[in-house]
Structure 1
Amino acid sequence: MKFFTDIKEFLKTTANDERIPSRDKKILLAMIALIISPIDLIPDWIPILGQLDDLVLLSIILDYFFRVLDSRILLSHWPWGMKSYTQVKAMAKLTSFFVPWFVKKKLWKYVGDPY
């Protein structure tokens, strides 16, 4: 149960961060709602493709948090410690091939710190 409480708190504090554009927050929350919802873009009974839509959405979310967003912003909300952060970041890097560059460019408004 603590894990779900931590996720809820992480999402709440991240959603309230003023450094993240509100458009990005709305897109992320919509994607999270689609993953949680029993309604899918592609029904689960269709082999392979049915599970692929959730995997692609999760990959887009992880890519945003770990490759688009500055790590100092993410770490300011991350409740699980550095070890889990590096493990999830490595997983996000592996799944990032599901997220084409043009999708990222079209979706996100966040521009990272140039330094």
Structure 2
Amino acid sequence: MNQVIVESMQWNALTHIADVRPIDDSDSACLEEVRQVLLKYNCLERFGISLLHSHFELRDDEILLETTDLEKREHWVRPVTHTYLRENKITAQTTVIGFDEKGYHQHCGCNPRSTGHHHL
């Protein structure tokens, strides 16, 4: 199994959302091929597709962290430092992966807890 590498520079290399071509019918052949691979590995209910994009640059020591408030039914994605993760004993579960010629990399992680998402 490959190790997921978390680096802000990978996020910063993503194109700003205003300049990313939206997913459209021209992507259907690629998406169908990805669907077939997921089907082959029995992963249709495990993985999907995310349009990789950025809204701002991350600092060298940051990662995007997803958190959820179940009571309010709200979900946030915000930058946090690796120090914040360590100090709060959070192991971010990978949720968004990007690919390049070297392999795959984590772009975003979620703060899981045994009872679901961490409540703020």
TM-score by length of 1: 0.28
Greater RCO, CA 8 A, separation 6+: 1
TM-score by length of 2: 0.28
